[in-house]
Structures are given as structure tokens and as C-alpha cells.
Structure 1
Amino acid sequence: MFTATLHFTQHRECILRRLTADLESPIPIEIEEIQNGFVTFVLRAGPHADPFQSALEDADHVEHVDRLDEENLLVTKPSCGAYSAIYQNHGTLRRANTVSGRQREYNVLVFRREDLKAIIDDFETFGTVTLGKLEEFRATDSPLTERQREVVTEALARGYYDWPREITNEGLAEELGISRATLHEHLRKAEHTLLSAALANGYRQTGRGQFERVDLALEGDD
């Protein structure tokens, strides 16, 4: 599992590109949800909240704008392509990202190097991208239950997380001798546990309210 920082120059027209083009500092964005080609995010607009809100509300393609407080907006709009590229290649966006005109910084979590390469390849169809920091997340003790670990290991071995998938959820459930509902429950809980651990910025929980630093040294390719 890897965390990567991608520096992206957006070639497509995008309302956020227009809103932030003349600002001195990047605007933080915190991703809340991506579904059916739409992305919901918190736009940390700061002193620009009023003009940003007006422009977003006037844009026909923006589905929803909600004022959270004096400085922050909750926005739902179609993805300009980057978010879809990340998620269709089995990546996950970390919450904190930034936008500054054409420039974007995305912090991405991926399970495999191949997935990261596929994300970069897709990015390059509508912009230019460079890879910044790349780190491997490793925990010395698995945070999964024994059964979750068995299910995830089998899913990886059978190509369930490949793109395209080499086995369907029905086939994987049959191999494991469990129902699809049980399979999805194990995978969902395991993915939530692993992602939560990885997104904790290089720390893992060792007890209630206690964390220790994880070794993030990146190993070379095999």
C-alpha cells in the first residue's frame, strides 16, 4: 500500500480553475464523497467564500452549494476527470488536496504500484502530471482480524482488485464458501480498517488514544 502526492496541471476548463486563477495561495479542498461522476467536497474558501459561493450557485453544472460557516463551502459538482481517474484505478483520495488555477495537488492512496501508474496514465490524457512524494505504508502488526486477513489475501491472489477484475464477487464468494453479503461485509470492514490506518499520516494506533510512528521507508522494486 502506497501514499503518493501527484502534482497536476489541468488542461480542461473547470470552474475551480477560474475561481482560483488569480489567488496568491492554493485553496484547500477536502473530499467528502465521489459517486456517479459527481464529487462532494469542502472548499476552504476563507475570505473568498462570498464570491466563490455566488459563482458556484450561478454555474448551471454545479449541483449543490451549501455555506457551512463564514469560510467554508460544501459543493457537489461533476468531476473534471481527475477524481474518476483515481477511483476507477482502485485509488483513494486522501481528504486534503489543493487547487490553484490550473494547478492541483492530489494526495492519493493506492494498493499497488500498477494502480498508481494507471492513474498517472489517465491523468496524462487531459493534463500533465508529475509524481511527488511516494511512500509505502507498512504496519508491523496486522490491524485485521484473522478472517478478514484470509478474505483479503484470497481476493488479492484471485485478482479481485485487478483492473479489469479477474474474478467476480460471486466467484470469489464461491471460492471462499461464503455468501456475497458476507464477502462484502468482510471486505468493507477490512478496507475501512486498512485505509483508516494508512490515512493516519504514518501513525498507527497501539491503544485507546495512543499512536506510534510507522516505518514509511520505501522499498525498491523487486
Structure 2
Amino acid sequence: MQQMLAALTDADRLEVYNQLKAEYGIHPMEAHLKLTSDEILSALQKMKEQNGMPWRMLRGSLADLVYGVVVLPGLNGWSDVSFNGDMPYDYLLRSDAGEEVTVQIKLQRSEAGQPLEAKKNLGKDMFVVETQRTRGGKKGEKKTRPYRFGDFDLLAVSMFPSTGRWETYMYTVAKWLLPHPSEEGCLNTFQPVAKTPNADWTDSLEQAIEWLKSGQQKTITISTGPPSQQKLDL
């Protein structure tokens, strides 16, 4: 078959492609948007080139949605029982024994297509994640953009900017995160993320759940390792 296709001209291969697509149908999203997959991808490419807020929001949404499609189906003994609503977490998981865990998904920070690394008060050999809502406001005198301790149990950080793989995440227990310096009871806007698993961060959701169940009280460690080439002054 490969030899047959190789012998065809570009025009012939395109004709075969179009015939197969017509025979096997198009993706439901193509039908919904009334655009071909190529047109959709071309529009996304244009969005990427502009590199504005819509592109950043799309990447953040992918980090969230891919988690439910790729990661959670492989989690034994737990089910995704999330429901639609304005909740401070992205996923509600329930074990076969009835235990519940909430997970907030965030995308590792990047700039100009490169993963950002922290320095100064966040450490010198750590990546960075922003832990606040995309949009904010006020409820009384309190700001609503920062997350509060207790809003979710686990933080899952998509490491796509540094790994190039959407299925890679680093986890920690939410109550271990750095507190906000001026907003009492709130998480710090930026958190350091370990590049590899350590005593504070793990690449295993199962391990993170065990940490949560242990009830251990602590705050994640700020690394003081050697400086690296790409730095973010936070």
C-alpha cells in the first residue's frame, strides 16, 4: 500500500485523502463549526502567531481538557464525577471506597515559547506556575482572583512547555503551596515547580493522593540551586 501511494502524484494522493474522508465521515467538530480540519488548524496557527490572550487561554484549556481525556482514564480505583458549575477546582474524583479528591489544573508558565524558570524568592532551579484565576473581581473587600487554601486538594501542573508532551503533569498537595504575602488565607500568585519528582512534587497522581491522605503539614521547599539560562524575576 505504501508503495502504491508513493507512486501517486500529489494531486492523486489528495484525491484519495478526500475520498476516504468522505467515506469515513468528518469529525463532529468540523460539522459543528462548518469548517474543515485544515481550516480549523490554519485558524489556530494564526492565533498562535498573534500569541495573544486567546492563544494562552486555549493552551490552558488544553491542559485541563487533555487531563480528563488522557490521564484520568488510566487511574485505577477512581472515577471522574465532575459536574458543570463555577467551582474552584477542575476535577472532582471519587474512589471506589467513596473518598473524594478535587484537582486544579494549571499550565506551566512560558514566555516566547520557552518554559520560564524562577529566581530570587522562588528558587533558582525551579519552573513556575501561576496559581490564580484568569479573571478576577471583588467580593466585598476581598479579591476573587486568588485561590484560597481549601479551594482544592491537589494542584496538577501541565509540563507541556518543558516536555513537549501534554500527558505530563507534576502534582503537589494544595495546602503545601506558598501562602500569599498580603492576602490572608490565599495562595501566592506564583509557585515554584520542581523539574523532577522530589519530596514536594511528584509526577504520579496516585502518589499525590497518598500524600494528601497522610495529612502531613508542611510548605513546599524553595530551591536555592545554581542559576540557569532562562530566568523569570518573580
Superposition TM-score tier, normalisation by shorter sequence? under 0.3
Whichever structure has more strand as a proportion of its residues is: 1
Name the larger-Rg structure.
Answer: 2
TM-score normalised according to structure 1 size: 0.24
